[in-house]
Structure 1
Amino acid sequence: MAGSKRNKIKNILSPVTSPPPPVPPEDDELMDDLFAQLDSKDQNVQAESAAVINEMQQDSKSRHKARQARKAAALAEQHAPSDAEADARIERETAEEKRVISETCDELGVQMHEIPPDGHCLYSAIADQLNLLGILPDAAANYTTVRHVAADYIFTHPDDFLPFLPSTTGEDGTGATDSGLMSPQQFEGYCKTVRDTGAWGGEPEIMALTRAYRVPIHVVQGTKPNVVEHNPNEGAPPDSALVVRISYHRRMYGLGEHYNSLRPKHGIANTIKSLLHS
């Protein structure tokens, strides 16, 4: 009898172990949405999406919280008042951007090569171009390689980039009370973000890559000027006939700003590669 009581007490006091709850199937869709939001140029959207992704990878409560937040956002969007005039304006701007970029591509003899909108679009587009020009081999022609090069160049040339980077506590930061540049810790964190996350890339990273690879990067866009030229040596003509060409889209993609690679038409890309490697 005593043994039986001890067993009952043991069973009551022993922690109940249960298998971990299964990961809901909608998590995959949620993660896709969050990674897509990393492609936004809005740094607040990037930071919030990255934080939720990190939390989701750690525990189920955060996954539930993220799903609830997404449902709330979707509900708010459904009940948001429709602005027909604003919708029409965006539609016109989208059509105009598409027309201008298409005409510019025709003039340059290039065609758009779609890049996935996953936060790495700038780096993937430039990697595709560098591979086309014979600068990067197939095995290294990916966003990881290009991100590392951009981050390392920025980190080793702080004086060239600090004036153009947003400060989290200075005049560019939310609720800022003073002006100023990034601290060394913030600058190191920025470079780490460029290297290791899916954060959107922009002008500072393009400037770093054109100098690191010593090749001009031309950006075709829907506003004036239709082609923005970034050269390795500011104010000096490039010392190479090779040019990286990418397109920048503000309206054509619903998830926000995006970059694509611009390849030569009619199989010229393969001809260029064969000539470079001959």
Structure 2
Amino acid sequence: MAGSKKNKPKKAVPPSYSSMPDQPQTGDDDHELVDDLLAELDSRNHTVQQESATVLIEMQEHKENAVGARARSAKKKQDSRSRHEARQARKAAALVQNHAPIDPEADARLEREAKEEEASIKETCDKLGVQTHEIQPDGHCLFSAIADQLTLLNILPPAQANYVTVRAAASNFIYTHPDDFLPFLPSAFGEDGVGATSAGFMTPRQFEQYCMTIKDTGAWGGEPEILALSRAYNVPIHVIQGGVPKIVEHNPGSSPWSSGKVARISFHRRMYGLGEHYNSLRPKTAISQMADKIQSAFS
């Protein structure tokens, strides 16, 4: 995505987070910087990816060291935002390792996997008569992709078809149906906690924080949010991906769905670096269908 507006960093990446003051960074400015850096992990520009990933890792290590110095004998508490940032720091570490400029074999492997994924998704899309509609890789891609689909299906008016509306819908549905989602959400002291040895469930306060994070921040959405939105808007959401199965269906109820309305989005693991990304899938136009036929005739 280099060369396009959406791939340019929102702000300059600092040369080294370790050169900042030793106090833990917890203010709004730091959270805004984290959101920007996470968005930049989706860039196809490897330099932007590496710079963002390196700063994210330093920020996470800095935060963990500061907390450990103050309370080594106590269990480390993490709110939903901290857990989200920790997971993205691990993703950033993998990104740096796989995109190291001194390892051309790793770059070639990732490029090959990206092409294979793209071909697999396109094959499925061709069978369904849909094509990719690019969504901005800004941390809100899942919600923006579903918003685009809801407009196509006349479920949401265009004025409301944005990630803000859809994030709020996902958050509200999860919050009002805790028994359906708590078993599948990361816990502060369970498997996602630092030094955890067993699984656990969120406390009511942690659950509330999780829902607020989905609603008010750039936290990435996943399976729980897709299922919540399928139920909230009473429409199946089908996710086309390069893996197996090629189509993952999320239905609003247990009974077979009789309506012809289906929201379709694509999930990309490799196409945008290691940053996971969602796009919307729109019906093919007559022009694009003709182009496909011409290409097939000469291939």
One fold, TM greater than 0.5? Answer: yes
- The reply on whether 1:222 has 2:205 as its aligned counterpart is no
What is the count of residue pairs matched by the alignment?
A: 213
Shift of 1:149: 0.4
For 1:1-278, what aligned pairs fall within 5 Å after superposition? 28-30=11-13, 34-35=35-36, 37-38=38-39, 82-234=102-254, 236-254=255-273, 256-266=275-285
Paired residue for 1:16? Answer: none
Deviations 1:186-219 (A, max 9, x none): 1000000000001000000001000111100000
CA 1:135/1:27 → structure 2, altered by over 3 Å: closer, same or farther? closer
- Identity among equivalent positions (%) equals 63
Give the number of the structure whose alpha-carbon radius of gyration is greater: 1
Looking at structure 2, the residues matched to 257 and 215 of structure 1 have their Cα atoms a distance apart, in angstroms, of 23
CA 1:253/1:233 → structure 2, altered by over 3 Å: closer, same or farther? same
CA 1:34/1:232 → structure 2, altered by over 3 Å: closer, same or farther? closer
Looking at structure 1, the residues matched to 37 and 247 of structure 2 have their Cα atoms a distance apart, in angstroms, of 26
Contact 2:236 2:249 in 1 (8 A): yes
Query: Normalising to structure 2: TM-score of the pair?
Result: 0.65
Deviations 1:101-134 (A, max 9, x none): 1111111100110000000000000000000100
Contact 1:206 1:217 in 2 (8 A): yes
Shift of 1:87: 2.3
Provide the secondary structure at the position in 2 that maps to 1:223: coil
**Structure 1 residue runs without a partner (length 5+):** 1-25, 53-72, 269-278
- Per mean C-alpha deviation after superposition, the further-off stretch among 89-98 and 116-125 is 89-98
Provide the secondary structure at the position in 2 that maps to 1:85: helix
Looking at structure 1, the residues matched to 41 and 180 of structure 2 have their Cα atoms a distance apart, in angstroms, of 25
**Structure 2 residue runs without a partner (length 5+):** 1-8, 14-31, 43-52, 61-92, 288-299
Looking at structure 2, the residues matched to 82 and 37 of structure 1 have their Cα atoms a distance apart, in angstroms, of 24
CA 1:239/1:206 → structure 2, altered by over 3 Å: closer, same or farther? same
Deviations 1:51-105 (A, max 9, x none): 99xxxxxxxxxxxxxxxxxxxx9xx98x957233322221211110010011111
Query: Normalising to structure 1: TM-score of the pair?
Result: 0.69
CA 1:32/1:109 → structure 2, altered by over 3 Å: closer, same or farther? farther
Provide the secondary structure at the position in 2 that maps to 1:169: coil
Looking at structure 2, the residues matched to 177 and 159 of structure 1 have their Cα atoms a distance apart, in angstroms, of 24
Looking at structure 1, the residues matched to 189 and 271 of structure 2 have their Cα atoms a distance apart, in angstroms, of 33
Provide the secondary structure at the position in 2 that maps to 1:115: coil
Looking at structure 2, the residues matched to 259 and 115 of structure 1 have their Cα atoms a distance apart, in angstroms, of 7
Contact 2:40 2:138 in 1 (8 A): yes
Looking at structure 2, the residues matched to 164 and 39 of structure 1 have their Cα atoms a distance apart, in angstroms, of 28
CA 1:239/1:29 → structure 2, altered by over 3 Å: closer, same or farther? farther
